Amino acid sequence: MYITVCFGDNNILQLELSVNSNIEELFNVLSLEASTPEDKLEVWFEGTLLQKEDKRTIQEVGMKENDFLFVKVRQEPSGYPEAGPFNWSVASQSQGRSTTGVNPSGASSQVSWKNNNLYDTQVQKALEEYIRQKNIAENLEAALEYNPEAFGSVVMLYISAKVNNVEVTAFVDSGAQHTIISKQCAERCRIMHLIDSRFGGIAKGVGTARFLGRIHISMFSIGEQYFPVSFLVIEDLSFDMLFGLDMLRRHRAVIDLEQNCLKMGEAVAYFLAEKDIPEAFRLNRDIGVERGESSRDLRRQPHVGSRRLWDDANNTISQPFSEDAIQRLISLGFGRDEILTALVACDGNEEQAANLLAAHKYGF
């Protein structure tokens, strides 16, 4: 769980602790953050002064997600500065305990703290990992506040066009080398008889697919403007066509994201809103093309994308996962059952599970 801590100097930070961490471990973490020995800290929670000898867990004390702690450093009777010199031994000991609370599954929880030597390699690695995790948490918090759009889905660029005067939905992809059309779309557009099978080969992207050959020229139209284009014909493609870099460069096309349109000469095609894109088109990935291989050598390669991971994870869930991790994923808008499925697929890794859930739900 996350706890917000306010120090007497108005320095505010957020700590991530396990619900099973006890008060003594909490004092250790606060001591490290304040660079102050534990016996000089006063930790207040809901008007109650906590004692570092308390063996109860923070959950038993009554702390919940995003609760608030106030920490005061006791004044030195002799008038010396509050914090005093940094005690590296205390920092090492507290790091050993707090690292286990922050990330119980991390490698640093395996470290032995019998030798509290700052220059010990394991101690340095654990401190480095603690700092890294803290920076990641702060970076995520900043992104959620200042760049929340980064966590949404991106609508891919589709336009309405015509091939041989037949309506198609074209995926505009400047990252694809070639312009591609599906076999089904080519049949619908009545241009299958133009395929030159000498240009057949293997398309590799997410898995593999065989392309039947090339249509050297056909008419592609946007509004009243017509453009000559060539296509590679893919046998197994779930969308109509992909308008690749070869034809974008050939016709000096401009992808204008400010005006949300594709410009080719005097023709302008506005990108489709998400509601206007066929559902089957939304989860496709870029496809690269590799030529020069015989279709007889075609072998399906394992699909390592989100679909395969998702399908493989649909089994009986018997492995327990942290309830805190599950609740954090639920707060992102996913259901409990799909979260458990994703955690199984990712061997319990919360970050990978979040990426998998987002890819499965939003198609990116």
Alpha-carbon distance values, 220 to 167, 185, 191, 251, 259 (Å): 10, 13, 12, 11, 22
- Residue 301 is assigned to a structural domain of this protein: no
Residues 327 and 347 reside in one and the same domain: yes
With a CB cutoff of 8 Å and minimum separation 6, the contacts of 329 are 339, 342, 350, 353, 354, 357
User: For the domain that residue 230 is a member of, what is the CATH number?
Assistant: 2.40.70.10
In a domain, 117, yes or no: no
143 plus 205 within the same structural domain: no
Report if residue 99 sits inside a domain.
Answer: no
Q: What is the CATH number of the domain that holds 352?
A: 1.10.8
Enter the tokens of residue 27: 């004092």
Verify that 235 and 271 share a domain, yes or no.
yes
Catalytic residue among 173, 236, 297, 337: 173
- What total of structural domains would you count in the chain? 4
Known catalytic residue at 173: yes
Tokens for 177, please give them: 């080398």
Extended beta strands in the chain, E state: 2-7, 12-16, 41-45, 48-50, 68-73, 158-163, 166-172, 180-182, 201-205, 207-222, 225-234, 241-243, 254-256, 261-264, 267-270, 288-291
In a domain? residue 313: no
**Burial 142-177, CB ≥16 within 10 A → b, else e:** eeeeeeeeeeeeebbbbbebbbbeeebbbbbbeebe
Residue pair 96/126 in contact (Cβ under 8 Å)? The answer is: yes
> Distance between CA atoms of 107 and 100, rounded to whole angstroms?
9
In a domain, 208, yes or no: yes
**pTM of the model as a whole:** 0.47
Per-residue pLDDT of the chain (364 residues; tens, 9 = 90+): 788 887 765 677 788 888 888 888 888 888 888 788 888 888 888 778 888 788 888 888 888 887 878 788 876 554 444 444 444 444 444 444 444 344 443 433 334 444 455 556 776 777 778 788 888 888 988 888 888 888 877 888 999 999 999 999 999 999 888 899 999 999 999 999 999 988 887 766 555 667 889 999 999 999 889 999 999 998 877 789 999 999 999 999 999 999 999 999 899 999 999 888 887 776 544 433 443 333 333 333 333 333 444 444 444 344 567 888 888 888 877 888 788 877 877 777 887 788 777 766 655 4
- Same structural domain, 169 and 260: yes
Q: Which domain holds residue 332?
A: 323-362
Are residue 166 and residue 193 in the same domain, yes or no?
A: yes
Question: Domain for residue 133, yes or no?
Answer: yes
- Same domain, yes or no: 15 and 65: yes
Question: Do both 270 and 193 map to the same domain?
Answer: yes
What CA–CA distance (Å, rounded) separates 284 from 267?
A: 26
Does 141 map to a domain? yes
On whether residue 96 sits in a domain, the answer given is no
Residues 266 and 235 in one domain: yes
